[in-house]
Chain A
Protein backbone atom coordinates (compact mmCIF):
# COMPACT_ATOMS: atom_id res chain seq x y z
CA UNK A 1 0.00 0.00 0.00
CA UNK A 2 1.33 3.40 -0.93
CA UNK A 3 1.45 6.04 1.75
CA UNK A 4 -0.53 9.15 0.91
CA UNK A 5 1.75 12.12 1.45
CA UNK A 6 0.64 14.48 4.15
CA UNK A 7 -0.98 17.82 3.56
CA UNK A 8 -2.71 19.81 6.25
CA UNK A 9 -6.46 20.03 6.25
CA UNK A 10 -6.17 23.76 6.42
CA UNK A 11 -4.08 23.83 3.25
CA UNK A 12 -6.40 21.41 1.45
CA UNK A 13 -9.49 23.46 2.13
CA UNK A 14 -7.73 26.67 1.22
CA UNK A 15 -6.71 25.21 -2.14
CA UNK A 16 -10.25 24.09 -2.84
CA UNK A 17 -11.61 27.48 -1.85
CA UNK A 18 -9.24 29.16 -4.21
CA UNK A 19 -10.17 26.89 -7.07
CA UNK A 20 -13.87 27.44 -6.52
CA UNK A 21 -13.54 31.17 -6.08
CA UNK A 22 -11.49 31.56 -9.22
CA UNK A 23 -13.95 29.51 -11.24
CA UNK A 24 -16.93 31.52 -10.01
CA UNK A 25 -15.23 34.88 -10.57
CA UNK A 26 -14.65 34.14 -14.25
CA UNK A 27 -18.32 34.16 -15.23
CA UNK A 28 -20.79 36.98 -15.65
CA UNK A 29 -22.82 38.23 -12.73
CA UNK A 30 -26.35 37.67 -11.47
CA UNK A 31 -28.32 40.08 -9.30
CA UNK A 32 -31.32 38.97 -7.23
CA UNK A 33 -33.31 41.56 -5.33
CA UNK A 34 -36.68 42.02 -3.70
CA UNK A 35 -39.06 44.65 -5.06
CA UNK A 36 -42.62 45.70 -4.27
CA UNK A 37 -44.23 42.91 -6.29
CA UNK A 38 -41.94 40.03 -5.30
CA UNK A 39 -38.43 38.94 -6.26
CA UNK A 40 -36.50 40.05 -9.33
CA UNK A 41 -33.69 38.09 -11.02
CA UNK A 42 -31.41 39.86 -13.49
CA UNK A 43 -28.56 37.90 -15.06
CA UNK A 44 -26.12 38.90 -17.72
CA UNK A 45 -26.56 36.01 -20.11
CA UNK A 46 -26.46 36.02 -23.90
CA UNK A 47 -27.88 32.54 -24.23
CA UNK A 48 -31.60 32.05 -24.54
CA UNK A 49 -31.32 28.31 -23.86
CA UNK A 50 -28.67 27.92 -21.16
CA UNK A 51 -30.47 29.53 -18.26
CA UNK A 52 -28.93 30.84 -15.07
CA UNK A 53 -32.31 31.60 -13.54
CA UNK A 54 -35.04 29.02 -13.16
CA UNK A 55 -38.31 28.09 -11.54
CA UNK A 56 -38.14 25.51 -8.76
CA UNK A 57 -41.63 25.52 -7.31
CA UNK A 58 -44.75 27.63 -6.88
CA UNK A 59 -43.08 30.37 -4.86
CA UNK A 60 -39.44 29.42 -5.20
CA UNK A 61 -36.91 30.53 -7.79
CA UNK A 62 -33.28 29.66 -8.34
CA UNK A 63 -30.29 31.56 -9.68
CA UNK A 64 -26.78 30.25 -10.10
CA UNK A 65 -23.34 31.19 -11.34
CA UNK A 66 -20.25 29.13 -12.02
CA UNK A 67 -19.95 25.89 -13.95
CA UNK A 68 -23.10 25.21 -15.95
CA UNK A 69 -23.01 21.40 -15.76
CA UNK A 70 -22.66 21.52 -11.99
CA UNK A 71 -25.43 23.98 -11.19
CA UNK A 72 -27.71 22.47 -13.81
CA UNK A 73 -27.40 19.18 -11.96
CA UNK A 74 -28.19 20.90 -8.67
CA UNK A 75 -31.16 22.67 -10.24
CA UNK A 76 -32.58 19.40 -11.54
CA UNK A 77 -32.17 17.79 -8.13
CA UNK A 78 -33.86 20.73 -6.43
CA UNK A 79 -36.86 20.66 -8.74
CA UNK A 80 -37.28 16.93 -8.25
CA UNK A 81 -36.92 17.28 -4.50
CA UNK A 82 -39.49 20.07 -4.33
CA UNK A 83 -41.96 18.20 -6.55
CA UNK A 84 -41.46 15.04 -4.53
CA UNK A 85 -42.12 16.85 -1.27
CA UNK A 86 -45.15 18.60 -2.66
CA UNK A 87 -46.51 15.31 -3.93
CA UNK A 88 -45.83 13.44 -0.69
CA UNK A 89 -47.30 16.13 1.57
CA UNK A 90 -48.88 19.25 0.14
CA UNK A 91 -47.80 22.06 -2.15
CA UNK A 92 -47.70 24.47 0.78
CA UNK A 93 -45.21 22.25 2.59
CA UNK A 94 -42.43 23.04 0.13
CA UNK A 95 -40.38 25.95 1.46
CA UNK A 96 -37.36 27.89 0.31
CA UNK A 97 -35.68 27.27 3.66
CA UNK A 98 -35.91 23.51 3.21
CA UNK A 99 -34.44 23.72 -0.25
CA UNK A 100 -31.67 26.12 0.73
CA UNK A 101 -30.70 23.77 3.56
CA UNK A 102 -30.60 20.82 1.17
CA UNK A 103 -28.30 22.72 -1.20
CA UNK A 104 -26.08 23.81 1.66
CA UNK A 105 -25.79 20.20 2.83
CA UNK A 106 -24.91 18.93 -0.63
CA UNK A 107 -22.33 21.65 -1.33
CA UNK A 108 -20.83 21.47 2.16
CA UNK A 109 -20.42 17.71 2.02
CA UNK A 110 -18.86 17.85 -1.42
CA UNK A 111 -16.49 20.61 -0.35
CA UNK A 112 -15.09 18.60 2.54
CA UNK A 113 -15.13 15.13 1.04
CA UNK A 114 -14.35 15.59 -2.62
CA UNK A 115 -11.20 16.26 -4.59
CA UNK A 116 -12.80 19.05 -6.50
CA UNK A 117 -15.48 21.25 -4.92
CA UNK A 118 -18.50 22.55 -6.81
CA UNK A 119 -17.53 25.76 -8.61
CA UNK A 120 -20.94 27.30 -8.12
CA UNK A 121 -22.75 29.86 -6.05
CA UNK A 122 -26.53 29.64 -5.69
CA UNK A 123 -29.39 31.84 -4.65
CA UNK A 124 -32.71 30.32 -3.58
CA UNK A 125 -35.45 32.94 -3.47
CA UNK A 126 -38.92 32.58 -2.04
CA UNK A 127 -41.72 35.07 -2.49
CA UNK A 128 -43.95 35.62 0.53
CA UNK A 129 -47.60 36.55 0.82
CA UNK A 130 -46.59 40.10 1.73
CA UNK A 131 -43.52 42.09 0.81
CA UNK A 132 -41.96 41.53 4.24
CA UNK A 133 -42.10 37.77 3.69
CA UNK A 134 -39.68 37.48 0.78
CA UNK A 135 -36.56 35.43 1.47
CA UNK A 136 -33.25 35.35 -0.36
CA UNK A 137 -30.77 32.62 0.59
CA UNK A 138 -27.23 32.70 -0.71
CA UNK A 139 -25.39 29.38 -0.72
CA UNK A 140 -21.69 29.39 -1.55
CA UNK A 141 -19.40 26.64 -2.88
CA UNK A 142 -18.45 25.46 0.65
CA UNK A 143 -22.03 25.11 1.86
CA UNK A 144 -22.15 28.40 3.77
CA UNK A 145 -25.65 29.76 3.80
CA UNK A 146 -26.74 33.32 4.47
CA UNK A 147 -30.16 34.93 4.51
CA UNK A 148 -30.03 38.29 2.73
CA UNK A 149 -32.76 40.81 3.45
CA UNK A 150 -32.19 43.07 0.42
CA UNK A 151 -30.23 41.72 -2.52
CA UNK A 152 -27.74 39.08 -3.61
CA UNK A 153 -24.92 39.60 -6.10
CA UNK A 154 -23.11 36.52 -7.36
CA UNK A 155 -20.44 35.60 -9.89
CA UNK A 156 -17.89 37.64 -11.79
CA UNK A 157 -16.64 40.80 -10.11
CA UNK A 158 -19.12 41.18 -7.27
CA UNK A 159 -17.44 43.96 -5.30
CA UNK A 160 -18.10 46.93 -7.60
CA UNK A 161 -21.67 45.72 -8.19
CA UNK A 162 -22.42 45.29 -4.48
CA UNK A 163 -20.98 48.70 -3.71
CA UNK A 164 -23.17 50.27 -6.37
CA UNK A 165 -26.30 48.46 -5.15
CA UNK A 166 -25.64 49.49 -1.54
CA UNK A 167 -26.03 53.07 -2.74
CA UNK A 168 -28.96 52.70 -5.08
CA UNK A 169 -31.11 49.90 -3.65
CA UNK A 170 -34.15 50.72 -1.55
CA UNK A 171 -37.14 48.74 -0.30
CA UNK A 172 -40.46 48.71 -2.14
CA UNK A 173 -39.26 49.60 -5.65
CA UNK A 174 -41.62 49.14 -8.56
CA UNK A 175 -40.57 46.58 -11.21
CA UNK A 176 -39.18 49.06 -13.74
CA UNK A 177 -37.20 50.91 -11.08
CA UNK A 178 -35.92 47.63 -9.63
CA UNK A 179 -34.66 46.54 -13.06
CA UNK A 180 -32.94 49.90 -13.43
CA UNK A 181 -31.19 49.45 -10.07
CA UNK A 182 -30.06 45.92 -10.99
CA UNK A 183 -28.80 47.09 -14.38
CA UNK A 184 -26.98 49.97 -12.74
CA UNK A 185 -25.08 47.36 -10.77
CA UNK A 186 -24.32 45.02 -13.66
CA UNK A 187 -23.17 47.89 -15.88
CA UNK A 188 -20.88 49.47 -13.31
CA UNK A 189 -17.31 49.93 -14.62
CA UNK A 190 -15.19 46.99 -13.58
CA UNK A 191 -17.97 44.43 -13.67
CA UNK A 192 -17.28 43.40 -17.26
CA UNK A 193 -15.62 39.97 -17.29
CA UNK A 194 -14.33 40.58 -20.82
CA UNK A 195 -12.43 43.70 -19.79
CA UNK A 196 -8.84 43.48 -18.60
CA UNK A 197 -8.13 42.68 -14.97
CA UNK A 198 -7.71 46.29 -13.95
CA UNK A 199 -10.85 47.28 -15.80
CA UNK A 200 -12.02 49.61 -13.07
CA UNK A 201 -11.22 52.49 -15.36
CA UNK A 202 -13.19 51.09 -18.27
CA UNK A 203 -16.28 52.89 -19.47
CA UNK A 204 -19.72 51.80 -18.21
CA UNK A 205 -21.45 49.35 -20.53
CA UNK A 206 -25.00 49.40 -21.78
CA UNK A 207 -26.69 45.99 -21.68
CA UNK A 208 -29.58 45.48 -24.10
CA UNK A 209 -32.46 43.02 -23.74
CA UNK A 210 -30.49 40.42 -25.75
CA UNK A 211 -27.72 40.36 -23.16
CA UNK A 212 -30.05 39.88 -20.21
CA UNK A 213 -31.98 37.07 -18.63
CA UNK A 214 -34.72 38.56 -16.48
CA UNK A 215 -37.39 36.78 -14.43
CA UNK A 216 -39.63 37.54 -11.48
CA UNK A 217 -41.46 35.71 -8.74
CA UNK A 218 -44.68 37.70 -9.03
CA UNK A 219 -46.62 37.80 -5.78
CA UNK A 220 -49.90 38.55 -7.55
CA UNK A 221 -49.90 35.38 -9.64
CA UNK A 222 -52.13 32.56 -8.50
CA UNK A 223 -50.10 29.38 -8.16
CA UNK A 224 -46.85 29.32 -10.09
CA UNK A 225 -45.40 32.75 -9.48
CA UNK A 226 -42.29 32.43 -11.66
CA UNK A 227 -42.41 34.35 -14.91
CA UNK A 228 -39.71 35.14 -17.44
CA UNK A 229 -39.59 38.62 -18.95
CA UNK A 230 -38.47 38.36 -22.55
CA UNK A 231 -38.54 40.15 -25.86
CA UNK A 232 -40.82 43.15 -26.21
CA UNK A 233 -42.21 42.82 -22.68
CA UNK A 234 -38.69 43.11 -21.27
CA UNK A 235 -37.57 45.92 -23.58
CA UNK A 236 -40.57 47.96 -22.45
CA UNK A 237 -39.42 47.73 -18.83
CA UNK A 238 -35.78 48.65 -19.49
CA UNK A 239 -34.48 52.19 -19.00
CA UNK A 240 -34.49 54.18 -22.25
CA UNK A 241 -30.72 53.91 -22.68
CA UNK A 242 -30.91 50.10 -22.77
CA UNK A 243 -33.57 49.79 -25.44
CA UNK A 244 -31.13 49.84 -28.35
CA UNK A 245 -31.36 46.67 -30.38
CA UNK A 246 -27.92 46.35 -31.93
CA UNK A 247 -26.73 42.83 -31.13
CA UNK A 248 -23.19 42.46 -29.88
CA UNK A 249 -20.94 40.66 -32.31
CA UNK A 250 -19.29 37.31 -31.61
CA UNK A 251 -20.41 36.74 -28.05
CA UNK A 252 -21.20 33.10 -27.44
CA UNK A 253 -24.18 32.17 -25.32
CA UNK A 254 -23.38 30.81 -21.86
CA UNK A 255 -20.11 31.64 -20.20
CA UNK A 256 -18.43 28.40 -19.25
CA UNK A 257 -14.66 28.55 -19.26
CA UNK A 258 -12.38 25.51 -19.34
CA UNK A 259 -11.79 23.83 -15.99
CA UNK A 260 -8.91 25.33 -14.00
CA UNK A 261 -8.86 28.18 -16.49
CA UNK A 262 -7.87 25.87 -19.33
CA UNK A 263 -4.42 24.99 -18.01
CA UNK A 264 -1.82 25.93 -20.58
CA UNK A 265 -0.30 23.16 -22.65
CA UNK A 266 3.37 23.35 -23.63
CA UNK A 267 3.49 26.31 -25.97
CA UNK A 268 -0.29 26.21 -26.12
CA UNK A 269 -2.09 29.37 -26.90
CA UNK A 270 -5.24 28.97 -24.85
Chain B
Protein backbone atom coordinates (compact mmCIF):
# COMPACT_ATOMS: atom_id res chain seq x y z
CA UNK B 1 0.00 0.00 0.00
CA UNK B 2 1.29 3.40 -0.82
CA UNK B 3 1.50 5.49 2.30
CA UNK B 4 -0.30 8.79 1.97
CA UNK B 5 -0.06 9.02 -1.82
CA UNK B 6 -2.45 11.85 -2.57
CA UNK B 7 -0.87 14.39 -0.26
CA UNK B 8 2.55 14.08 -1.84
CA UNK B 9 1.86 13.10 -5.43
CA UNK B 10 5.46 13.82 -6.31
CA UNK B 11 6.79 16.81 -8.12
CA UNK B 12 6.58 16.03 -11.78
CA UNK B 13 7.65 18.94 -13.95
CA UNK B 14 4.55 20.43 -15.50
CA UNK B 15 2.23 18.80 -13.00
CA UNK B 16 2.38 21.47 -10.40
CA UNK B 17 -1.19 21.84 -9.24
CA UNK B 18 -0.75 24.67 -6.78
CA UNK B 19 -2.11 22.55 -3.92
CA UNK B 20 -0.14 22.30 -0.72
CA UNK B 21 0.75 18.68 -1.38
CA UNK B 22 2.90 19.65 -4.33
CA UNK B 23 4.97 21.92 -2.09
CA UNK B 24 5.76 19.27 0.50
CA UNK B 25 8.59 17.67 -1.45
CA UNK B 26 11.18 19.05 -3.81
CA UNK B 27 14.55 20.70 -3.98
CA UNK B 28 16.10 22.27 -0.94
CA UNK B 29 16.70 25.65 -2.52
CA UNK B 30 13.79 27.83 -3.55
CA UNK B 31 15.29 28.78 -6.89
CA UNK B 32 15.86 25.12 -7.75
CA UNK B 33 12.26 24.48 -6.79
CA UNK B 34 11.07 27.24 -9.12
CA UNK B 35 13.40 25.97 -11.85
CA UNK B 36 11.83 22.50 -11.70
CA UNK B 37 8.18 23.36 -11.12
CA UNK B 38 7.82 26.65 -12.97
CA UNK B 39 10.79 27.14 -15.31
CA UNK B 40 8.99 29.98 -17.08
CA UNK B 41 9.44 32.11 -13.95
CA UNK B 42 13.23 31.85 -13.94
CA UNK B 43 15.22 34.97 -14.85
CA UNK B 44 15.85 35.03 -18.60
CA UNK B 45 13.54 32.09 -19.27
CA UNK B 46 12.67 31.79 -22.93
CA UNK B 47 15.72 33.62 -24.23
CA UNK B 48 17.52 30.39 -25.05
CA UNK B 49 14.74 29.04 -27.27
CA UNK B 50 13.73 32.37 -28.80
CA UNK B 51 17.22 33.49 -29.68
CA UNK B 52 18.45 30.22 -31.17
CA UNK B 53 16.27 30.64 -34.24
CA UNK B 54 17.33 34.23 -34.92
CA UNK B 55 19.83 35.06 -37.62
CA UNK B 56 22.38 36.75 -35.35
CA UNK B 57 22.00 35.27 -31.90
CA UNK B 58 24.93 37.22 -30.52
CA UNK B 59 23.23 40.51 -31.35
CA UNK B 60 19.85 39.56 -29.96
CA UNK B 61 20.18 41.90 -26.99
CA UNK B 62 21.24 44.80 -29.19
CA UNK B 63 18.43 44.35 -31.70
CA UNK B 64 15.82 44.21 -28.94
CA UNK B 65 17.22 47.35 -27.35
CA UNK B 66 16.67 46.19 -23.77
CA UNK B 67 17.88 48.57 -21.05
CA UNK B 68 21.32 48.20 -19.52
CA UNK B 69 22.33 49.06 -16.03
CA UNK B 70 25.64 50.80 -15.64
CA UNK B 71 27.97 51.48 -12.72
CA UNK B 72 28.07 49.90 -9.25
CA UNK B 73 30.83 50.49 -6.68
CA UNK B 74 31.57 48.78 -3.38
CA UNK B 75 34.22 49.35 -0.74
CA UNK B 76 34.95 48.11 2.75
CA UNK B 77 35.56 50.33 5.77
CA UNK B 78 36.36 49.90 9.45
CA UNK B 79 32.79 48.86 10.33
CA UNK B 80 31.72 46.81 7.33
CA UNK B 81 31.06 47.53 3.67
CA UNK B 82 29.30 50.13 1.51
CA UNK B 83 27.76 49.48 -1.90
CA UNK B 84 26.37 52.20 -4.19
CA UNK B 85 25.03 52.54 -7.71
CA UNK B 86 24.04 55.32 -10.09
CA UNK B 87 20.44 55.62 -11.28
CA UNK B 88 20.74 55.41 -15.06
CA UNK B 89 19.64 52.67 -17.47
CA UNK B 90 20.60 53.04 -21.13
CA UNK B 91 19.47 51.50 -24.36
CA UNK B 92 22.07 52.28 -26.98
CA UNK B 93 22.52 56.04 -26.95
CA UNK B 94 19.17 56.65 -25.27
CA UNK B 95 18.58 57.00 -21.54
CA UNK B 96 16.02 54.28 -20.91
CA UNK B 97 15.32 55.29 -17.32
CA UNK B 98 16.66 58.09 -15.12
CA UNK B 99 15.77 56.72 -11.72
CA UNK B 100 16.22 52.95 -11.94
CA UNK B 101 17.38 51.29 -8.74
CA UNK B 102 20.20 48.83 -9.14
CA UNK B 103 21.36 48.23 -5.57
CA UNK B 104 19.17 46.03 -3.37
CA UNK B 105 19.27 44.91 0.22
CA UNK B 106 18.89 41.14 -0.19
CA UNK B 107 18.77 40.16 3.48
CA UNK B 108 19.85 41.39 6.91
CA UNK B 109 23.56 41.39 6.15
CA UNK B 110 23.93 41.47 2.38
CA UNK B 111 23.19 43.59 -0.67
CA UNK B 112 23.59 43.12 -4.41
CA UNK B 113 24.25 45.70 -7.10
CA UNK B 114 23.62 44.82 -10.72
CA UNK B 115 25.08 45.88 -14.01
CA UNK B 116 24.24 44.55 -17.45
CA UNK B 117 20.91 43.49 -18.91
CA UNK B 118 18.54 45.15 -16.48
CA UNK B 119 15.40 43.05 -16.89
CA UNK B 120 17.11 39.73 -16.22
CA UNK B 121 19.27 41.19 -13.48
CA UNK B 122 16.30 42.60 -11.55
CA UNK B 123 14.52 39.24 -11.71
CA UNK B 124 17.69 37.51 -10.59
CA UNK B 125 17.99 39.74 -7.53
CA UNK B 126 14.34 39.21 -6.70
CA UNK B 127 14.74 35.44 -6.88
CA UNK B 128 17.99 35.62 -4.91
CA UNK B 129 16.32 37.56 -2.08
CA UNK B 130 13.44 35.11 -1.85
CA UNK B 131 15.93 32.25 -1.91
CA UNK B 132 17.86 33.66 1.05
CA UNK B 133 14.70 34.35 3.01
CA UNK B 134 13.28 30.91 2.19
CA UNK B 135 16.40 29.21 3.48
CA UNK B 136 16.40 31.31 6.63
CA UNK B 137 12.78 30.45 7.38
CA UNK B 138 13.16 26.73 6.71
CA UNK B 139 16.39 26.30 8.65
CA UNK B 140 15.93 28.91 11.34
CA UNK B 141 19.36 30.41 10.63
CA UNK B 142 20.55 32.49 7.67
CA UNK B 143 22.99 31.14 5.09
CA UNK B 144 26.65 31.87 5.74
CA UNK B 145 28.14 34.69 3.71
CA UNK B 146 30.00 32.24 1.48
CA UNK B 147 26.81 30.26 1.05
CA UNK B 148 25.03 33.35 -0.21
CA UNK B 149 27.89 34.23 -2.55
CA UNK B 150 27.91 30.72 -4.03
CA UNK B 151 24.14 30.73 -4.41
CA UNK B 152 24.38 33.90 -6.50
CA UNK B 153 27.21 32.35 -8.55
CA UNK B 154 24.88 29.49 -9.42
CA UNK B 155 22.25 31.92 -10.69
CA UNK B 156 24.74 33.80 -12.84
CA UNK B 157 25.97 30.49 -14.26
CA UNK B 158 22.42 29.55 -15.24
CA UNK B 159 22.26 32.72 -17.27
CA UNK B 160 25.26 31.78 -19.42
CA UNK B 161 23.09 30.82 -22.40
CA UNK B 162 21.44 34.23 -22.36
CA UNK B 163 24.79 35.92 -21.79
CA UNK B 164 26.11 34.35 -25.01
CA UNK B 165 23.35 36.20 -26.85
CA UNK B 166 24.23 39.51 -25.27
CA UNK B 167 22.05 39.44 -22.16
CA UNK B 168 24.95 39.59 -19.74
CA UNK B 169 24.29 40.08 -16.04
CA UNK B 170 27.16 41.18 -13.81
CA UNK B 171 26.22 41.34 -10.13
CA UNK B 172 28.38 42.78 -7.39
CA UNK B 173 27.79 41.16 -4.01
CA UNK B 174 28.57 42.92 -0.72
CA UNK B 175 28.00 41.41 2.68
CA UNK B 176 28.93 41.47 6.32
CA UNK B 177 30.25 38.15 7.63
CA UNK B 178 28.68 37.78 11.08
CA UNK B 179 31.01 34.86 11.84
CA UNK B 180 33.99 37.23 11.93
CA UNK B 181 34.36 39.15 15.17
CA UNK B 182 36.57 41.99 13.89
CA UNK B 183 34.29 44.45 12.02
CA UNK B 184 37.22 45.72 9.95
CA UNK B 185 37.62 42.24 8.44
CA UNK B 186 33.93 41.34 8.23
CA UNK B 187 32.97 43.47 5.22
CA UNK B 188 33.28 41.36 2.07
CA UNK B 189 32.96 42.05 -1.66
CA UNK B 190 32.44 39.32 -4.24
CA UNK B 191 32.41 39.71 -8.02
CA UNK B 192 31.33 37.35 -10.78
CA UNK B 193 32.01 36.67 -14.42
CA UNK B 194 29.26 35.57 -16.86
CA UNK B 195 30.20 31.88 -16.47
CA UNK B 196 29.41 32.05 -12.78
CA UNK B 197 33.02 32.38 -11.69
CA UNK B 198 33.16 33.83 -8.20
CA UNK B 199 36.00 36.13 -7.13
CA UNK B 200 36.57 37.51 -3.65
CA UNK B 201 37.90 41.06 -3.77
CA UNK B 202 40.44 41.15 -0.99
CA UNK B 203 41.79 44.62 -1.79
CA UNK B 204 38.70 46.19 -0.28
CA UNK B 205 37.06 47.88 -3.27
CA UNK B 206 35.62 47.03 -6.65
CA UNK B 207 33.31 48.37 -9.36
CA UNK B 208 31.32 46.79 -12.19
CA UNK B 209 29.54 48.17 -15.24
CA UNK B 210 30.40 50.52 -18.06
CA UNK B 211 31.86 53.23 -15.82
CA UNK B 212 33.80 50.80 -13.66
CA UNK B 213 37.20 51.68 -15.13
CA UNK B 214 36.89 55.29 -14.01
CA UNK B 215 35.23 54.39 -10.73
CA UNK B 216 37.98 51.93 -9.88
CA UNK B 217 40.73 54.46 -10.65
CA UNK B 218 38.98 56.89 -8.36
CA UNK B 219 38.59 54.30 -5.59
CA UNK B 220 42.22 53.30 -5.90
CA UNK B 221 43.27 56.84 -5.00
CA UNK B 222 40.65 57.56 -2.35
CA UNK B 223 40.10 54.20 -0.64
CA UNK B 224 40.88 54.21 3.06
CA UNK B 225 40.33 50.93 4.93
CA UNK B 226 40.27 52.77 8.27
CA UNK B 227 37.48 55.16 7.24
CA UNK B 228 34.17 55.27 9.08
CA UNK B 229 30.76 54.78 7.45
CA UNK B 230 30.33 58.43 6.46
CA UNK B 231 33.81 58.51 4.97
CA UNK B 232 33.14 55.37 2.95
CA UNK B 233 29.85 56.77 1.65
CA UNK B 234 31.66 59.94 0.56
CA UNK B 235 34.32 57.89 -1.25
CA UNK B 236 31.66 55.80 -3.01
CA UNK B 237 29.86 58.93 -4.22
CA UNK B 238 33.13 60.49 -5.39
CA UNK B 239 33.82 57.33 -7.39
CA UNK B 240 30.36 57.40 -8.97
CA UNK B 241 30.86 61.07 -9.81
CA UNK B 242 34.13 60.23 -11.55
CA UNK B 243 32.42 57.41 -13.47
CA UNK B 244 29.63 59.73 -14.61
CA UNK B 245 32.21 62.36 -15.51
CA UNK B 246 33.87 60.16 -18.12
CA UNK B 247 31.29 57.51 -19.03
CA UNK B 248 28.22 58.61 -20.98
CA UNK B 249 26.16 55.65 -19.76
CA UNK B 250 26.60 56.46 -16.07
CA UNK B 251 24.27 59.03 -14.58
CA UNK B 252 25.63 61.77 -12.36
CA UNK B 253 23.67 63.11 -9.39
CA UNK B 254 20.58 64.86 -10.79
CA UNK B 255 20.12 67.86 -8.49
CA UNK B 256 17.33 69.28 -10.66
CA UNK B 257 15.05 66.26 -10.29
CA UNK B 258 16.57 65.29 -6.96
CA UNK B 259 17.66 61.84 -8.17
CA UNK B 260 20.64 60.62 -6.19
CA UNK B 261 22.61 57.36 -6.16
CA UNK B 262 21.34 54.44 -4.08
CA UNK B 263 23.73 53.80 -1.19
CA UNK B 264 23.55 50.82 1.17
CA UNK B 265 25.76 50.54 4.25
CA UNK B 266 26.20 47.09 5.82
CA UNK B 267 27.51 46.86 9.38
CA UNK B 268 27.15 44.40 12.25
CA UNK B 269 23.72 45.95 12.87
CA UNK B 270 22.51 45.03 9.40
CA UNK B 271 22.15 46.34 5.87
CA UNK B 272 20.51 49.76 5.71
CA UNK B 273 19.75 51.86 2.68
CA UNK B 274 20.72 55.47 3.30
CA UNK B 275 17.81 57.88 3.04
CA UNK B 276 17.64 60.22 0.07
CA UNK B 277 18.15 63.22 2.36
CA UNK B 278 21.33 61.66 3.76
CA UNK B 279 22.70 60.99 0.30
CA UNK B 280 21.64 64.44 -0.96
CA UNK B 281 23.66 66.10 1.80
CA UNK B 282 26.80 64.18 0.85
CA UNK B 283 26.19 64.74 -2.87
CA UNK B 284 26.06 68.50 -2.22
CA UNK B 285 29.48 68.30 -0.55
CA UNK B 286 30.84 66.31 -3.49
CA UNK B 287 29.51 68.77 -6.04
CA UNK B 288 30.75 71.75 -4.02
CA UNK B 289 34.19 70.14 -3.85
CA UNK B 290 34.21 69.62 -7.61
CA UNK B 291 33.48 73.28 -8.31
CA UNK B 292 36.74 74.03 -6.49
CA UNK B 293 38.64 71.10 -7.94
CA UNK B 294 36.98 69.38 -10.93
CA UNK B 295 39.40 66.46 -10.67
CA UNK B 296 38.13 65.53 -7.24
CA UNK B 297 39.71 65.51 -3.80
CA UNK B 298 43.09 64.18 -2.77
CA UNK B 299 43.23 61.82 0.10
Contact = CB atoms under 8 A, between A and B. Distances in A.
Nearest to B136: A55
A58 to B, nearest CB: 10
A51 B3 CA distance: 26
A98 to B, nearest CB: 10
B23 A87 contact: no
Interface residues of B, number: 25
Contacts of B30: 80, 83-84, 87
Given A54-B137, A56-B137, A79-B137, A114 B20 contact: no
A81 interface: yes
Interface stretch (A26-34, A101-109, A158-166, A186-194): A101-109
A3 to B, nearest CB: 16
B-side interface mostly? helix
Contacts, number: 72
A75 B188 CA distance: 33
Interface in B133-147: 133-134, 137-138, 140
B272 to A, nearest CB: 11
Contact of B138 (A76, A88, A105, A114): A76
A56 B7 CA distance: 20
A248 B93 CA distance: 71
Given A83-B30, A83-B133, A84-B33, A78 B4 contact: no
Contacts of B7: 106, 109-110, 114
A48 to B, nearest CB: 10
B21 interface: yes
Contacts of B23: 76-78, 80-81, 84
B12 interface: no
B126 A115 contact: no
Contacts of B35: none
Given A80-B134, A114-B4, A115-B3, A105 B19 contact: yes
Contacts of A76: 23-24, 138
B26 interface: yes
A103 B21 CA distance: 9
Nearest to B21: A106
Most chain A beta-carbon neighbours within 10 Å: one of B30, B41, B134 = B134
B50 interface: no
A78 B20 contact: yes
A-side interface mostly? helix
Contacts of B133: 83, 224
B127 interface: yes
Given A54-B137, A80-B33, A87 B24 contact: no
A9 B37 CA distance: 36
A86 B23 CA distance: 14
Given A84-B34, A88-B38, A109-B6, A51 B20 contact: no
Interface in A87-132: 87-88, 102-103, 105-106, 109-110, 113-116
Given A106-B7, A106-B19, A87 B34 contact: yes
Nearest to B33: A80
B179 interface: no
Contacts of A11: none
B20 A83 contact: no
B1 interface: yes
A23 to B, nearest CB: 16
A152 B20 CA distance: 23
A88 B41 contact: yes
A79 B30 CA distance: 10
Contact of A103 (B20, B138, B140): B20
Nearest to A56: B137
Contacts of A80: 23, 26, 30, 33, 134
B4 A110 contact: yes
B52 interface: no
B43 to A, nearest CB: 11
Contacts of B19: 102, 105-106
Interface string B243-271: 00000000000000000000000000000
Given A84-B33, A87-B130, A110-B7, A55 B137 contact: yes
Given A80-B23, A87-B34, 8 more contacts: A49-B140, A54-B137, A74-B20, A80-B30, A84-B30, A88-B41, A109-B21, A114-B4
15 contacts: A77-B20, A77-B21, A77-B24, A79-B137, A84-B30, A84-B38, A87-B127, A88-B38, A102-B19, A105-B20, A106-B21, A109-B7, A114-B4, A114-B6, A115-B1
Interface of B: 1, 3-4, 6-7, 19-21, 23-24, 26, 30, 33-34, 37-38, 41, 126-127, 130, 133-134, 137-138, 140
The 4 A-B pairs of least Cβ separation, nearest first, read: A102-B20, A77-B24, A77-B23, A106-B20
